[in-house]
Amino acid sequence: MADIDIRRNHHLGLKGARVAADKMAEHLGRRFDLRGTWEGNVLNFQRPGVTGSLAISEKDFALSLSLGFLLRAMRGSIEGAIVRELDELFADKAEVNAPRAKAAPERPKKAAARPKKGG
């Protein structure tokens, strides 16, 4: 049974998902010394204490990760780092790169008329 199981939809298509998965594998490989190999549309990776796979399709992906005894204590921080990485790499690039609409500047409000002194 996987210690970390993440499934998400994406809008990258199969080719874009493969590029994103390769970037993730490269980044995690440098950071955590993970080695990955592709078998069809599944990236299998491992290192002492960690085994897992990332299955991609045209519309979604599924990441399953099993942690060794020592790494289970850090499950929360490992999962958080992976989620951030996946969210960045599998984000809808059109949405990420689209210029954000600027809110119209607020017009200064007119101050209420003050009653005159002595009157």
Q: Tens digits of per-residue pLDDT, 30-62?
A: 877 888 899 999 999 888 888 999 999 999 999
Set out the domains of the chain in order of their start, with CATH numbers: 4-95 (3.30.310.50)
Residues of the chain with pLDDT > 70, as a percent, come to 76
Predicted confidence (pLDDT) at residue 93 exceeds the cutoff of 70: no
Residues 6+ apart with CB under 8 A from 118: none
Mean pLDDT across the chain: 79
Averaged pLDDT, 3-12:
91
Per DSSP bridges, beta strands 35-39 and 42-47 are: antiparallel
Q: Which two tokens stand for residue 50?
A: 């960690």
Strand segments (E) across 1-119: 4-9, 35-39, 42-47, 50-56, 60-67
